[in-house]
Each structure stands twice: as structure tokens, then as C-alpha cells.
Chain A
Amino acid sequence: SQQGEEDPQALSIQEGENATMNCSYKTSINNLQWYRQNSGRGLVHLILIRSNEREKHSGRLRVTLDTSKKSSSLLITASRAADTASYFCAPISNFGNEKLTFGTGTRLTIIP
């Protein structure tokens, strides 16, 4: 299994602004998943993007994937206070029975 590395470690923006966080990984993937965790709670699955996809949308979320650069980005548009959370990426390799391995995430704070 491989661990994604999120960047930046922390991000603070004003409510209404867009937030962008990045994920880098090392080896080829089958898919890459983004999760959100509110403080002290379980993780919530946000988006899964397959290796043959370049962009995917879900509401105010937009995920891009560049397999040549082994990187992904998560864009949250028109941020809200409720978006304050930690965000994690989990790259899933092409091998079977892949474990999700989480990094330390990006801590996003939305300032009202």
C-alpha cells in the first residue's frame, strides 16, 4: 500500500473563498479517494476518482488527477464554516487487496 501526502498541512481561508489542497503519491494507482474528518469523528468518503479520469465533480467539490505527475487536487468552492475539517487522500494501487493508508491530512479552517 502507499500513503498519500497532503499539502499544505494547514490552510485558513475566509468563508466564501475557494480552498485547494493537494495530494502526491509514488506509484501507479487504480483510483484515489478523498475523505473528510471533522474533529473527533469518523472519516466521510467524499470522492473516488479512477486512474483513467482527469476530473470529477460532486456539488461544491472538484477533484483533479494527473497521473503523469502522480498528483491530485481537491477544490472546495464557496467555502462554508461547516467545511472546517481535516482532509485526507488515499491512493489505491493496482494490486489487489490494497489497504487504505492515510497521511496526516490538510487541516482546513474556514473563518466566518
Chain B
Amino acid sequence: ETGVTQTPRHLVMGMTNKKSLKCEQHLGHNAMYWYKQSAKKPLELMFVYNFKEQTENNSVPSRFSPECPNSSHLFLHLHTLQPEDSALYLCASSQGTSGTYNEQFFGPGTRLTVL
């Protein structure tokens, strides 16, 4: 247990569906992240939130919409996804975003399949 939980663990959705991924951290951290991991590709950073403010959007398509209501919770709202969006979505948190505060703790991930 890393102190970061993600739900659901598995999700299958059609291209017209709307769904949300949830991440919660119990570590008292201030920064939270969404990553995408596709098969045989390096981990890709999607979004960074620091003190609830989005500080990074790594050219992510608008069909992915993040939400960070407080420092402990992070959501990824999904709408009109494509089959190529099927991947493992990982959430992480860290105390801060610089230097040694950037030690990240990851959740177990949500395996998303888009039909």
C-alpha cells in the first residue's frame, strides 16, 4: 500500500460513454499527477496539480478533463474516447514538485479499455 488509491481498477467503456477515474491520497501531499501508460511505451505525464492548481497540461486532448477539488482528491473525466486511449492510467502524489519533494507515490492504476 502506497497511500494512493484509485478507482475503479478496471473500466470498459464505449466511445460515446462518459466516465470518471478517481484518485485519493492519504499522505498529506500537495501535488497530484495523472500519467498514461500504453503498451510498450514509456510512462507519459498528462496533468500536474500543485495545491489544487493545474500547473501542467502535457498537450492532452480535451476529451480528458481533470478535476482537483482539494489536495487529496484528483479526478479524470473521460468523454468520447477513442480505442487508442486504452491504457493503464496511473495517479501519483508527492509532497511538492521540486527537488527531493518530488518523490512520487503511485496508485495501482486503472486499466481502461475503450471499445
Interface size on A, residues (CB 8 A): 26
A11-19, A41-49, A57-65, A70-78: which lies at the interface: A41-49
CA distance A42 to B106 in the complex (A): 6
CA distance A40 to B4 in the complex (A): 16
Q: Which chain B residues border A103 with CB–CB below 8 Å? A: 42
Flag B92-104 by CB within 8 Å of A: 1 or 0 each.
Answer: 1000011110111
Q: Do B42 and A48 touch across chains, with their CB atoms under 8 A apart?
A: no
Instruction: Out of A35, A40, A50, A102, name the residue touching B42 (CB < 8 Å).
Output: A102
- 8 further A-B contacts with Cβ under 8 Å, apart from A102-B43, A104-B41, are A40-B111, A42-B90, A42-B107, A42-B109, A43-B90, A43-B104, A92-B102, A102-B42
Q: Which chain A residues border B99 with CB–CB below 8 Å? A: 30-31, 92, 96, 98
Contacts A42-B2, A42-B109; A33 near B103 (Cβ below 8 A) = yes
CB distance from B88 to the nearest CB of A (A): 7
CA distance A53 to B48 in the complex (A): 28
Q: Which chain A residues border B104 with CB–CB below 8 Å? A: 33, 43, 45, 100
Residue A99, interface by CB 8 Å: yes
Task: Name B105's closest neighbour in chain A (CB-CB).
Answer: A45
B residues touching A (Cβ–Cβ < 8 Å)? 2, 4, 6, 41-43, 45, 48, 50, 55-56, 88, 90, 92, 97-100, 102-109, 111
A residues touching B (Cβ–Cβ < 8 Å)? 3, 30-31, 33, 35, 40-45, 48, 50, 88, 92, 95-105
CB distance from A18 to the nearest CB of B (A): 26
CB distance from A39 to the nearest CB of B (A): 10
CA distance A3 to B43 in the complex (A): 11
Q: Do A30 and B100 touch across chains, with their CB atoms under 8 A apart?
A: yes
Q: Which chain A residues border B102 with CB–CB below 8 Å? A: 33, 92, 98, 100
CB distance from A33 to the nearest CB of B (A): 6
